[in-house]
Amino acid sequence: MVIDLNAPEAIIREHRLGSVLSYRGPASELCRLSRTGGLSCHDNTFNQCGDCSAQRAMLPISQIRDGAMVNHAPIGCAGDFSLFNSQFRRGLGYRGLPANNLRALSTNLTESDMVYGGADKLARTIRLANQRFSPAAIFITTSCASGIIGDDVEQVSQEAEAELGVPIVPVYCEGFKSRIWTTGFDACYHSILRKLVKPPKVKRRNLINIMGFTNEPAFTPFLAKLGLEANYLVHQSSVEELGRMSEAAASAHMCETLGTYLARGLEQEFGVPEVPSPPPYGLDWSDRWLRAVGQITDRSDLAEKVIIEERRRIGPKLEEIRKELSGLSVYAVAGASFGHSMLAICQDLGLKVLGMTGFHHDLRFDNDYEETNSLNNAVDLIGDMPHYHVCNKQPYQLVNILGQLKPDLLMGRHEGLPVAGVKMGIPTFFASDANLMIGYDGLVYTGRMIIRVLRSRNFARNLARHSRPPYTDWWLTQDPFMFRRSGDGF
Amino acid sequence: MGSEALEQPRYVCAIGAQQTVLAIPRAIPIVHAGPGCSSKISGALGDQAGLQGAGYAGGSAVPSTNFSESEVVFGGEQKLRSTIDGTLKVMDGDLFVILTGCTSDIVGDDVTSIAAEYRQSGFPVVNAETGGFKGNNYLGHELVMLAIIEQFLGNGQESPVDPGLVNVFSVIPCQDAFWRGDLRTIKMLLERLGLRANILFGYDSAGLGEWRNIPSARFNLVLSPWVGLETARTLETRYGTPFLHWPALPVGAVETSRFLRAIGDFAQIDPRIVKSVIDDEEEIFYGYLGSAADFLTEARNGLPLLFHAVADSAYALALGRFLVNEMGFSPGLICATENPPESERCQVSVQFEDLAGDFGPVVFENDGGLIQDRLDQALDTERGALILASSWEKDLAARHDGHLLRVSLPIYDRLIMGHSYLGYEGGLRFLEDIYNLVLGKSA
C-alpha cells in the first residue's frame, strides 16, 4: 500500500493492513482468511489492559540521540520516560558512547489546559526543549488528551520551526485512535520519513539499514561476514544519520511487525530495496536472509560460502543442544512476527511447536513481498499449527490456553505476559534481546539460554506452588475465547 | 507553580492510583481509560519503582476498557458496563475500583451512576475520577481512599469504637518503592505498644475486612507530611474519629522513640509500657551503632557528612531527620519533588525547619531540569557527598564523586522487596546501605 508522506499522519493499521485482535484456530486458516478476507477488528467484551500507540511511538523517538522529545500530554503519559532512559543509556553504550540522560519533556497538561487548550504551553515547551538540549530536531508526541481537545499541533510545529530554525517533527500517536498499538511504530516512522529523511547524495553499497530496538549490535559481526555494515535504526541514531538512511543498499529488520512501514517508505521514496526474506532467525531463514542480502549487494557467491561455513561451524554445538531439547513441547507468546521468528528457532532446536499467541495479526504487510509474510513463512517452515491464537495481551486468556496445552516450555517477548507461565510452573524463556538471537550463533545462543531455563526449573516449580492466579475458579475452566465479540469470522 | 513543563518526571498522573487499589489485598482496578494508561502506570510505579513487578492482579492483568475512537465519539458507558460484567465473572477479587482516565473524564461518561447501580445490585464496585489532567498520583491515592470510604463504608453507627484499633494512612504504595517493608515496620511498631493497626495496604493487611473496620478505630494516624490528611479529616467528620498527624516517618532510634512516645501520649498508653519498649529497642540499636563506631571514627575523614536529598517530602524529611539528628550529618540541598498542593506547602515547609542548612529551606521543585541545576551547584561545594535521590541522578553523582543511594522514583537499577529504612532496624539498614556504597568503591 502506498505511503502518503504528504499526510501528517500514518493511516492506522486497522485500515491500512486490515489488522485484527482476535483469532483462534489453525494457523493455516488464518493465512487463508488473510488472503480472502472475512476478518474484522474487534476486541473482546471483557478486556485486560492493552498498550497504546504513544508507548510504541515514543520509545524509538526518545532514543534518537541528539533529538529532543516533547510529549504533549498530562504527566502520566510520561510515566515511561524512565524506562526509555534506562534503554537510552544502555544503547549509547552499545555504540561506544558515554551514558547520558534522556532528552525529553512533558507539557504536563492540567485541567485548565483542557478548558483553554494547550497550544501555547506546547509552544513554550518546544522553546524550553530547544534551550535545554540544543537538539538537532524536536519531536512532538501527542496524547489522548491533546487529541480530544483538538490542539493544532501541526500549526504550532510550523511556527516553532520558523522561529527556532530546528526541524520540528510532530508524531501523531493518540492512544485511542488505533486499537492496534503497533500503529505507534508506524507513527514514528511516518514522521521521520516525512520530515527528516533526505534524498541520497551518495549510495553506500556496503550499508544495510536494520530496524530494531535497543539491543546488542549483533548484526554487525553477522553482516561483516559478507563485508557489509549495519546501520541500526532508529534507536540511538543521530538526526543526521536518520536523514541519510536513504543512502543504504537495502533495509532489513528484526521483526516484520516493527519494520516494514519504514522499509516500504524507503523503497517507495528513495528506491532502497527491502530485503525480500524473513528475518535471520533459525537456519533456514538465516540462509534465505543471507542469500537475499547477497543478491542485492552482488555477493551471492560469498553468501553461499558463508552459509555453508556457518552451518558447518555451529553443527556440532546445535547437535548437543538438540539432544537436550528434542521432543519437548513449546508455546510462544509475542508480538506477531517476532513470535513467528521464535517458532522458527524452536523448530531448529528440535522442540515440538504447539502454537502461539500473537498480540495482533496484520492481514498484509506494507510491502508487496510475499517473502516477508511472517505467518505464511512460519507455516511453510514448521507446518500447520492447530493452536494459533490472537489476543491483545490478555493474560486471562493465556492462562486458560496454557492450562489446556500444558507446554514444557514457554517462549515470550513483551513485558508482563511470560511471567504468567512461570507462575503456572512452566519454565519460561524471555527474549530480552532479539538481536542476540539472529543467525547461526543466535540459534546456539537461544538454545543454550533455553537449557539454562530448563535446568533452573525449580524456580517455576516452587513459585507455582505458592501462586494464585487472579482469576475465579469458574473462569479457569472456561473457553478462553468466551468473551469474544460476535462477527469475528471464526 | 508546578504545572509547567516537566523533565525527568518523578511521579505519574492521578490514575497512578491503580497501584493504590492493587496494594489492597484482593482489590482490583477497572481502568476506564485509553489502552496504554494502565500499562504505563505499571511500568512507572512497578518496574521503575525498584522492580516491583505486577503482583496479584496488576501489570497486564488489570481490566481495562481500552478506550478507542468509537468511545470518544459515542461515549464509553456501554463498554464500561461490559468490562465490569466481565471483571466480576473473571477476576477473583473482593473490591473493584473503577478509575477513569483523561478520555472518559473529557467525554463525560457518568461513571458515578454506573458504579452506584452495581453497588445497588450487591457488587462491591466504587469509582474515582482520576483523569490524568486532574493532578498527580499523590492526589489519586487520596481520591481512591476517599472513594472507598465514601461509597463503600456505612455511616459508622453500627460500629462501636474498638479501643485498641488504629487506622494508618502513611506512604503511597509503589510511589514509595519501600512501601511494603515500611508498612510492615509501622504495623509492628504499633503492635509493640499493644495497638492493632489497620495498615490497609500490603501483605500485612487483611484487605477489605480492615477497610470495613475503619469506622471502629479509636484514632487515625496520618504518618506523612500531608498525604492522608484529607482522608483523616473526612473520617473525623464522618465518624468522629480523632487523628494524630505525625509528619516524619520514623527512622533510627531518636525519631522512632519520639514517634512511639507521641503515639503513647495520644492513645493514652501506660508510659511504663512505652518506656519499656523504647528501652529494649534502644539497647539493641545502640549496641549495633556502638559496634560500628570504631569504623565510623577511624574512617570518618573518608566518609560523607553532607547529604543532599531529592525525594518526595515524606522521604526527604524522614531520612534527613535521621541523618541530622542521629548521625550528625549536615543537610545540603533538600528538594521535595511531589508538587504538594499550595494549601499544604506552608505546613510542610515548617516540618523541614530543623533541616535547613547552607542551601536554605526545603525547595519544592518537580522539574528534573531545574533539580539537576540546583543539585549540580550544591555538589560543587563539596565532593563525596551522600545523595539520596533517583536513578535520574546517576551522572551528576558520578561527576562529583558523590555517593548516590536510590531512594526515590524512578528506581530501575535496584531490586526492592521487603527492604525498609523505618524504625530502629531500618535505621541500621540505612547506615549499612550508605556505608556499603562508600566501601564498595574502595580499591
Number of Cβ within a 10 Å radius of residue A327: 9
B115-152 confidence digits (pLDDT tens): 999 999 999 999 999 999 999 999 999 999 999 999 99
Q: What angle do CA A288, A290, A293 make, to 5 degrees?
A: 105
Mean pLDDT of A26-35: 95
What grid cell was written down for A22?
482476535
Chain A residues in contact with B12 by the CB 8 A cut-off are 75-76, 78-79
Chain A, window 15-34: residues with a beta carbon less than 8 angstroms from a chain B beta carbon: none
- Residue A59's domain comprises 53-172
Of B5, B15, B16, the CB nearest to A106: B5
Mean pLDDT of A52-57: 97
- Mark yes or no for CB contact B409/A43 under 8 Å: no
Domain boundaries, chain B: 14-152, 162-266, 285-440
Chain B residues in contact with A472 by the CB 8 A cut-off are 89-92
Instruction: Please give the full DSSP string across B160-184, using - where no structure is assigned.
Output: --EEEEEEEE-SPBTTBTTHHHHHH
Average model confidence (pLDDT) for chain B? 96
Instruction: Please give the full DSSP string across A353-378, using - where no structure is assigned.
Output: EEEEEES-B-SS-SS--GGG-HHHHH
CA distance B266 to chain A (A): 39
Q: What is the DSSP letter of B324?
A: I
| pLDDT over 90 (residue B360) | no
- Mark yes or no for CB contact B106/A114 under 8 Å: yes
| Residue A329: inside a domain | no
Confidence of residue B2 (pLDDT cuts 50, 70, 90): low
Mean pLDDT of B60-83: 96
Mean pLDDT of B56-82: 96
* Spatial separation of the C-alpha atoms in residues B367 and B10, rounded to whole Å: 9
Q: What is the amino acid identity at position A220?
A: T
| Domain covering B285-440 in this structure, CATH number | 3.40.50.1980
Checking B262-271 for CB contacts under 8 A at 24+ apart, the result is B263/B190, B263/B193, B263/B195, B263/B221, B264/B193, B266/B219, B267/B166, B267/B193, B267/B195, B267/B218, B267/B219, B269/B193, B269/B194, B269/B195
- State percent of chain B over pLDDT 90: 95
| Domain covering B14-152 in this structure, CATH number | 3.40.50.1980
| pLDDT over 90 (residue B356) | no
B164-214 confidence digits (pLDDT tens): 999 999 999 999 999 999 999 999 999 999 999 999 999 999 999 999 999
Same domain, A158 and A218: no
| pLDDT over 70 (residue B244) | yes
Of B159, B184, B157, B189, whose CA–CA distance to B173 is shortest? B184
Q: Would you say A111 and A80 are in contact if contact means Cβ atoms under 8 Å apart?
A: no
CA distance B261 to chain A (A): 40
| pLDDT over 90 (residue B93) | yes
- Mark yes or no for CB contact A51/B44 under 8 Å: no
Of B314, B45, B338, B60, whose CA–CA distance to B173 is shortest? B45
Of B47, B60, B136, the CB nearest to A83: B47
* Spatial separation of the C-alpha atoms in residues A110 and A74, rounded to whole Å: 6
Mean pLDDT of B94-109: 96
pLDDT of residue B154: 79
Mean pLDDT of A335-349: 97
* Spatial separation of the C-alpha atoms in residues A478 and B436, rounded to whole Å: 52
- Mark yes or no for CB contact A393/B410 under 8 Å: no
CA distance B137 to chain A (A): 9
Among residues A255, A274, A296, the one where a domain terminates is A296
Residue of chain B with shortest Cα separation from A479: B90
Mean pLDDT of A227-250: 98
| pLDDT over 80 (residue B1) | no
> Please, how many CA atoms are within 13 Å of residue A420, restricted to the half-sphere of its CB?
30
A137-178 confidence digits (pLDDT tens): 999 999 999 999 999 999 999 999 999 999 999 999 999 999
Same domain, A140 and A79: yes
Paired strand residues for B167? B198, B220
CA distance B67 to chain A (A): 6
Domain count, chain A: 2
Contact with chain B for residue A86, Cβ under 8 A: yes
Task: Check residues A37 and A146 and name the one with the higher pLDDT.
Answer: A146
Confidence of residue A230 (pLDDT cuts 50, 70, 90): very high
- Mark yes or no for CB contact B89/A475 under 8 Å: yes
| pLDDT over 80 (residue A55) | yes
Mean pLDDT of A457-486: 95
Class at the top of the CATH hierarchy for domain B162-266: alpha beta
**Rounded alpha-carbon distances, angstroms, from residue B37 to A74, A103, A183:** 11, 22, 16
How many A-B residue pairs are in contact by the CB < 8 A criterion? 249
A107: CATH: 3.40.50.1980
Residue of chain A with shortest Cα separation from B93: A470
- Mark yes or no for CB contact A110/B61 under 8 Å: no
| pLDDT over 90 (residue A337) | yes
pLDDT of residue A489: 44
Among residues A296, A331, A354, the one where a domain terminates is A296
Of A71, A96, A86, A99, whose CA–CA distance to B406 is shortest? A86
The pair phi, psi for residue B26, each rounded to 5°, is: 65, 20
Q: What is the DSSP letter of B301?
A: G
| pLDDT over 70 (residue A487) | no
| pLDDT over 50 (residue A127) | yes
- State percent of chain A over pLDDT 70: 99
Terminal-to-terminal C-alpha distance of chain B: 46
| pLDDT over 80 (residue A421) | yes
Q: What is the DSSP letter of A105?
A: E
Q: What angle do CA A243, A249, A250 make, to 5 degrees?
A: 90
Q: Is B196 exposed, middle or buried (0-12, 13-18, 19+ CB in 10 A)?
A: middle
CA distance B62 to chain A (A): 5
Confidence of residue A423 (pLDDT cuts 50, 70, 90): very high
* Spatial separation of the C-alpha atoms in residues B312 and B2, rounded to whole Å: 14
What grid cell was written down for B130?
482520576
CA distance A19 to chain B (A): 15
Of A145, A416, A419, the CB nearest to B42: A416
Of B97, B85, B88, B84, whose CA–CA distance to B24 is shortest? B97
| pLDDT over 90 (residue A207) | yes
| pLDDT over 80 (residue A488) | no
Contact with chain B for residue A116, Cβ under 8 A: no
E-assigned strand segments in A276-348: 329-334
- Mark yes or no for CB contact A469/B36 under 8 Å: no
Mean pLDDT of B225-233: 98
- Mark yes or no for CB contact A105/B61 under 8 Å: no
Same domain, A160 and A224: no
pTM, two decimal places = 0.97
CA distance B181 to chain A (A): 20
- State percent of chain B over pLDDT 70: 99
pLDDT of residue A82: 97
Average model confidence (pLDDT) for chain A? 96
| pLDDT over 90 (residue B155) | no
* Spatial separation of the C-alpha atoms in residues B6 and A125, rounded to whole Å: 9
What grid cell was written down for B74?
459515542
A287-314 confidence digits (pLDDT tens): 999 999 999 999 999 999 999 999 999 9
Q: What is the amino acid identity at position A211?
A: M
Phi-psi region of A154 (alpha: psi -120 to 50; beta: other; left: phi over 0): alpha
Q: Which of A95-109, A341-355, A425-439, B350-364 has the lowest mean pLDDT?
A: B350-364
Q: Residue B306, SS3?
A: strand
What grid cell was written down for A104?
525529553
- Mark yes or no for CB contact A79/B62 under 8 Å: no
Mean pLDDT of B93-107: 97
Of A76, A144, A393, the CB nearest to B16: A76
Q: Residue A254, SS3?
A: coil
| Residue A257: inside a domain | yes
Given CA atoms A303, A305, A310, A311 in this order, what sign does their dihedral have?
Answer: positive
- Mark yes or no for CB contact B60/A49 under 8 Å: yes
Q: What is the amino acid identity at position B325?
A: N
* Bond from prior residue into A234 cis (ω within 30 degrees of 0): yes
User: What residues have CB less than 8 Å from B341, skipping those under 6 apart?
Assistant: B139, B226
What grid cell was written down for A86?
534506562
Residue of chain A with shortest Cα separation from B7: A105
